[in-house]
Amino acid sequence: MELFITIIVTFFAGMGAGLGTGFAGMSAAAVITPILTTFLGIDPYTAVGIALSSDVLASAVSAYTYGRNKNLDIKNGLVMMASVLVFTVVGSWVSSLLPSATMGGFSVFMTFLLGIKFIVKPVMTTKEDMKEVSPQKRLIQSLIAGILIGFICGFIGAGGGMMMLLILTSLLGYELKTAVGTSVFIMTFTALTGSISHFAIGGAPDLLVMVLCIVFTLIWARIAAVFANKASPKTLNRATGIVLVVLGVVVMGFNLVTKLLFDMPVQ
């Protein structure tokens, strides 16, 4: 019975994380972490490590799918990735110097709002529009965007995938498929770095749970990425928006349940 529950929980955790990754370049940590802690009682730090390890292959396969369909900006993605990694450390260091604040719900709430945004105001930028920006300007934009994303993620400890998607589409003027493709490309390496550091510090996780999460996230990310690359811009905006809104509502619900359970006074 315990094995059956583990499989069911990891299946739905992987499905939510995979759809979020394949459609929107969303970090698996936003979905997998609260589900594992709520239903399997896994330590939050370990759950984040499992989520990040699930992100690695799912993001890599998604990036490959987007790249094969010419929806990936590798050159500027590498520049952004380098600045994200460096300034995540800077943001984390600055955060450690300040009084702690509760920022856990930021990423999830942003996921919900971004989903609404894609439904109400779709991103209809085309590749032709993107080509109007000079390579030099795009390179500088990527560097600045990486600094901003990295610092915010390091400072509040969440929101990497969503921050990248928001900045790539809204500020840098990326076409949606290219934005997601570039985001998952970057997330592959940031997730790998994060998962290694988590396990190096916190020790090995439950291998069965980790393997199941990796497999289920990978399967659903692949399905979502294939659909996204074949869909029209209008359909993709709606599908991405719906997935983000549903995931945002579900994860906020999990967080609320967890808070109520742990904050209940002992009789």
Band the pLDDT of 222: cuts 50, 70, 90: very high
Q: Check whether 119 has a pLDDT greater than 70.
A: yes
pLDDT bucket at 115, cuts 50 / 70 / 90? confident
Q: Categorize the per-residue pLDDT at 106 as very low, low, confident or very high, splitting at 50, 70 and 90.
A: low
106 vs 164: which has the higher pLDDT: 164
Q: Is residue 217 within 8 Å of 17, Cβ to Cβ?
A: yes
Mean pLDDT, residues 218-245 taken together = 92
Q: Identify the sign of the CA torsion 40, 189, 216, 159.
A: positive
Q: To the nearest whole percent, how much of the chain has pLDDT over 70?
A: 88
233-263: per-residue pLDDT in tens? Answer: 889 899 999 988 988 888 788 777 666 765 5
What Rg do the C-alpha atoms of the chain give, in angstroms? 18
pLDDT tens sequence across 177-202: 999 999 999 989 888 888 887 788 77
Residue 152, pLDDT score: 74
For all residues of the chain together, what is the average pLDDT? 84
Nearest to residue 81, comparing CAs of 23, 140, 25, 142? 142
Quick one: CA dihedral 202, 197, 261, 6, positive or negative?
Answer: negative
Amino acid 198: pLDDT: 76
Q: What pLDDT shows up at residue 194?
A: 80
Amino acid at 32: I
User: In this predicted structure, what is the pLDDT of residue 4?
Assistant: 92
100 pLDDT above the threshold of 50: no
**Cα–Cα distance between 13 and 218 in angstroms, integer?**
11
- What is the Cα–Cα distance from 152 to 154, expressed in whole angstroms? 5
- The DSSP code sequence of 205-242 is --HHHHHHHHHHHHHHHHHHHHHHHHS-HHHHHHHHHH
In this prediction, residues 214-218 reach a mean pLDDT of 96
Alpha carbon distance 255, 1 (integer Å): 25
Q: Would you say 151 and 80 are in contact if contact means Cβ atoms under 8 Å apart?
A: no
Contacts of 11 (CB under 8 A, 6+ apart): 212, 216
| pTM value > 0.95 | no
The whole-number pLDDT of residue 129 equals 87
- Write down the pLDDT at residue 267: 40
Q: In the numeric block, which tokens belong to residue 266?
A: 């002992």
Which pLDDT score, from 0 to 100, does residue 155 have? Answer: 65
Handedness of CA 138, 72, 143, 126 (dihedral sign): positive
Given a cut of 50, whether residue 102 has pLDDT beyond it is no
